[in-house]
Amino acid sequence: MLYREAGQFKTSYGADQAIFPILQDKLGMLVILALAVVVVPLLASTYMLNSILIPFLVFSMAAIGLNLLTGYCGQLSLGTGGFMACGAFFAYKLTTAFPELHIILVFLLSGLGTAMVGILFGIPSLRIKGFYLAVATLAAQFFLVWMFNKFDWWTNYSASGVISAPPREVLPGIFVTGTESEPVTKYYFLLGFVAVLALIAKNLVRSRIGRAWMAIRDMDIAAEIIGIRPLWTKLSAFAISSFYIGIAGALWAFVYTGSVEALAFEINRSFQVLFMIIIGGLGSILGSFLGAAFIVLLPILLNAGMLALDPTISSALVSHIEFMIFGALIVFFLIVEPHGLARLWALAKEKLRLWPFPY
């Protein structure tokens, strides 16, 4: 009833190719943005901001990055943690070496640096495919984390190998990193950053390069025959994906935790992001957000829920049961909808178009 595109006619190619061709989608998006900008900071407690919204936004960025590579280009990667570490340590070295460099520039540059690393580790993808590639990307994961852990040049010779974000301001007087930064400013900063980059990603996958990725994903030999260069296409996917993941790593270290050691980016981080895109939906930008929300919230909700039901329950049992439910829910979701939450949303929209009439 409410969600119907009847009567909305497209009069130009531009209108037909809009990201949100339907008025309701546009409005919905604006409402969500308005909620995110106005309502959420008003309602959210510091805990919500610090432990849910900020990591959610950071993970969304990482999930978009991995989704570009795995969801759109079909190259399964388990090296996300390693690339996030790259972003974090590049940003640290840059901002401590050039303190006057603007923090946004630092993040973008560290993303670029990670893209270079991504290309390097993407080269084997030209020969290796499927699970062989997935395991091969673990080489990147283990090597990169080891490198940042081992060579104390990366941490400016800190005795323990921990880096902590120096205070940096995004506008004069408004700090987004370091102790003086308010959670709300961090939230707005991240929201803006992620929104812009997500928009770019959305447009990227609708462009020529995105179509080339999808052709490679669906069948690389066929794609090669119709004139798509696998070398260029695969490496560009690795580069752009790593760019996003690198920025996510830098944001993780600088804006979310404020201090990290290389071990924070170990293999579990890679799996976590992979979960996000699979639960959220492979090949969907919206899915990256949904998956990130799901994976960030689920453990916290399970944990808090169990404590709310029975405050005396032992925290060990809570953790173990949380593991079990987490695993079971993942299996459950995969069985119910292997294409992820984004697909569920699409189905819901289909239903909405007809609602409340059966046809």
Partner 1 sequence: MRSKFMALAVAGITAAATAGTALAADEQYVPMLVYKSGAYAPNGIPIAHGWEDYLKMINARDGGVNGVQMTWAECDTAYNNDRGVECYERLKQPTAAGVQPLSTGITYALIERATADEIPIFSSGYGRTSAAYGPVFPYVFSAPLTYWSGADVMVQYIADQEGGSLEGKKIALVYHDSAYGKEPIATLERLAEEEGFTLHLLPVAHPGLEQKATWLQIGRQIRPDWTLMWGWGVMNSTAIKEAAAVGYPMDRFIGIWWSGSEPDVLPAGAQANGYKSLGFHAPGSNYKALQDVLEHVYGGDEGAAKLRGWGDVLYNRGIFSMAMQVEAIRTAQGIHGEKTLTGAQVRDGWETLDLNDAKLSSLGFEGFTKPVQITCEDHEGGGQAFVQQWDGNAWNIISDWYMPRRDALREAYKADALAYAAEKGITPRDCS
Partner 2 sequence: MGALPVRTIGIWMLAVPIAILAIGLAFKGMAAANPQFFFTWPYFIEVLIAGLLQGVMYSLVALGFVLIFKASGIFNFAQGSMVLFAALTIVGFIEMGTHWTIAFFITAGIMVLLAISVERIVLRPLVNQPHIILFMATIGIFFFLDGFAQTIWGSDVKVLDIGIPKTPITVMENANPSDPNDPWQYGILINQYDLIAAAIGAVLVAVLAVFFQYTRTGRALRAVADDHQAALSVGIPLKTIWAIVWSVAGIVALVAGIVWGGKAGVQFSLALIALKALPVLILGGFTSIPGAIVGGLIIGAGEQLAEVFLGPLFGGAIQDWFAYMLALFVLLFRPQGLFGERIIERV
- Least CB distance to partner 2 at residue 335 (A): 4
- Residue 187 near residue 41, CB atoms below 8 Å: yes
CA distance 293 to 284: 14
H/E segment holding residue 264: none
Q: Under the criterion CB under 8 A, does residue 55 sit at the interface with partner 1?
A: yes
Number of residues that bind partner 2 (CB under 8 A): 48
222: partner contacted, choices partner 2, partner 1, none (Cβ within 5-8 A by kind): partner 2
Q: Under the criterion CB under 8 A, does residue 276 sit at the interface with partner 1?
A: no
Closer residue to partner 2 (CB): 22 or 134: 134
Q: For partner 1, what does the binding mask look like between residues 69 and 98, x meaning CB under 8 A?
A: ---------------------------x--
127: partner contacted, choices partner 1, partner 2, none (Cβ within 5-8 A by kind): partner 2
Q: Which stretch binds partner 1 (CB under 8 A): 2-10, 33-41, 114-122, 221-229?
A: 33-41
Question: Among candidates 267, 260, 289, which has minimal Cα distance to 277?
Answer: 289
- Least CB distance to partner 1 at residue 325 (A): 13
- Least CB distance to partner 2 at residue 277 (A): 10
Q: Under the criterion CB under 8 A, does residue 207 sit at the interface with partner 1?
A: no
| Cβ atoms < 10 Å from Cβ of 58 | 27
Token pair 């969907």 in the structure block, residue: 284
Specify the 3-state DSSP secondary structure of 178.
Answer: coil
Q: Under the criterion CB under 8 A, does residue 24 sit at the interface with partner 1?
A: no
Closer residue to partner 2 (CB): 250 or 277: 277
According to DSSP, residue 125 is labeled: G
Q: Under the criterion CB under 8 A, does residue 146 sit at the interface with partner 2?
A: yes
> Among residues 104, 116, 267, 344, which is the contact residue for partner 2, using CB under 8 A?
267
How many Cα neighbours within 13 Å face the side chain of 359?
0
Q: Under the criterion CB under 8 A, does residue 334 sit at the interface with partner 2?
A: yes
> Among residues 58, 136, 176, 194, which is the contact residue for partner 2, using CB under 8 A?
136
Closer residue to partner 2 (CB): 76 or 209: 76
Q: Under the criterion CB under 8 A, does residue 35 sit at the interface with partner 1?
A: yes
Residue 95 to residues 92, 167, 184, 199, 202, Cα–Cα distance (Å):
5, 10, 23, 26, 29
Specify the 3-state DSSP secondary structure of 72.
Answer: helix
What size, in residues, is the chain?
Answer: 359
- Least CB distance to partner 1 at residue 212 (A): 30
- Least CB distance to partner 2 at residue 321 (A): 6
Token pair for 60: 């969304």
Listed in sequence order, the residues at least 6 apart from 14 whose beta carbon sits closer than 8 Å to its beta carbon are none
Residue 312 to residues 301, 316, 318, Cα–Cα distance (Å):
17, 12, 10
- Give residue 110's identity as a one-letter amino acid code: S
Question: Among candidates 277, 278, 284, 112, which has minimal Cα distance to 206?
Answer: 284
Q: Under the rule (CB under 8 A), what is the footprint of partner 2? A: 70, 76, 124, 127-132, 134-136, 138-139, 142-143, 146, 149-151, 219, 221-222, 225, 267, 271, 274-275, 278, 282, 316-317, 319-331, 334-335, 338
